Amino acid sequence: MDGLDAVPGFLVEGLRGIPAAAALPAADFAGLALRVHEELEMRVGGRLMAGLSGAQLDEFDAVTEYENTHPGDFGEGKGPAMAWMEANRPGWRQIAQEETDRILAQTRQALHHTPDSTPS
Mark whether 47 and 57 lie in a shared domain.
no
Nearest to 7 by CA among 49, 41, 52: 41
Range of the domain at 26: 1-52+91-112
Specify if 67 maps to a domain: yes
Mark whether 28 and 73 lie in a shared domain.
no
Specify if 119 maps to a domain: no
Report pTM.
0.81
Which tens digits make up the pLDDT trace of 76-85?
667 888 889 9
The answer to whether 15 and 21 are in contact (CB under 8 A) is yes
What are the CA-CA distances from residue 7 to residues 2, 115, 117 (Å)? Answer: 11, 26, 27
Specify if 117 maps to a domain: no
Higher-confidence position of 78 and 119: 78
Q: Which residues contact 26 (CB under 8 A, 6 or more apart)?
A: 2, 3
Average pLDDT for 97-116? 89
Mark whether 41 and 5 lie in a shared domain.
yes
Maximum C-alpha span of the chain: 59
